[in-house]
Structure 1
Amino acid sequence: MKDNTRAAMAKGLGWFSIALGVAELLAPKATAKATGVHYGKNLLQAYGAREIATGIGLLAAKDPQPWLWARVAGDALDLATLAADLVSNPHKRRNTALSLAAVMGVTALDVWMAETARRDAIRQAEPPRDYSDRVGMALSPDEMRGKARDAMQAAPDLQTPTALKPYTLH
């Protein structure tokens, strides 16, 4: 996928976050009724503020990656809230189950977008280095031949004096 397509999708998620956040913030009772959630209006308004902040971050940021991961974290919170509500609230179970399925779909999209942004950032960070032409020696192998032996030769003043060397017959 091209960079401009990913950027457009991130901006679209930003606008989606703002729209959802405004609905949760300004109409928490209607949102609760539609989703089947029965936790108080304060919780939905807090979730709305979180959505708006994330949306603004996605629209304003040069790098959307942290804001995409913030959406994923928010989705996890939404899923936990809906799952708890599905178990504890038998009255609107169908609405809650549909909301849970919708949030799972959005979560999948958010995770995919965040992971794609992470991979793009890694690819753009630093080009891979090519060491294929290196042999690990300062000179060519032919020029290096004998260099180690010469380097290991002790200095004349550190060598054993001739008078102390063992006598050998040739």
Structure 2
Amino acid sequence: MEKSQDYAAAILLIVTLMVCLAISETNVTTDQASLLTLKAHISLDPSGILLKNWSSFASVCEWIGVTCSSRNQRVAALDISGNSLSGNLPVDICHGLPRLTGLYLSSDELDGNIPSDLSECSQLQLLSLSHNKFSGSIPREIGRIRTLQTLYLGSNVFSGI
């Protein structure tokens, strides 16, 4: 009887580990997909920082500008500031990056509207989009990010109140 209980416990442990690995891989895959979508929205990358380094052949945690949490290997911060990147932000940038705490995209040439989806980054503490060419109005949804402590939006071409 004792051997069958040990056998059942071993099977349960193996299944639990497999589920944990599958969930972890899905999460990393989700982070990777979101970052590759951002890369696709970049129309000019003069230094080649994204072209050379951001690929599906390497872990996102090894990509330039990406910082992952040591606890769960999810993307915690993204800093690709000051690389003269041109393009815009995907409307669903935060959809696949739920653990993002810092988003640093300042001193580039990014344009278009700031996506209201940024409110989906529910753990975001710092948002730096200054010194770009963002236009339109600042989305009200940014005010709903309860964890947001620092917001840099200066030196853009916003309109409205």
- The structure in which a higher percent of residues are helix is 1
**Which of these two proteins has the greater Rg computed from alpha carbons?**
1
In the superposition, the TM-score normalised over structure 1's length comes to 0.27
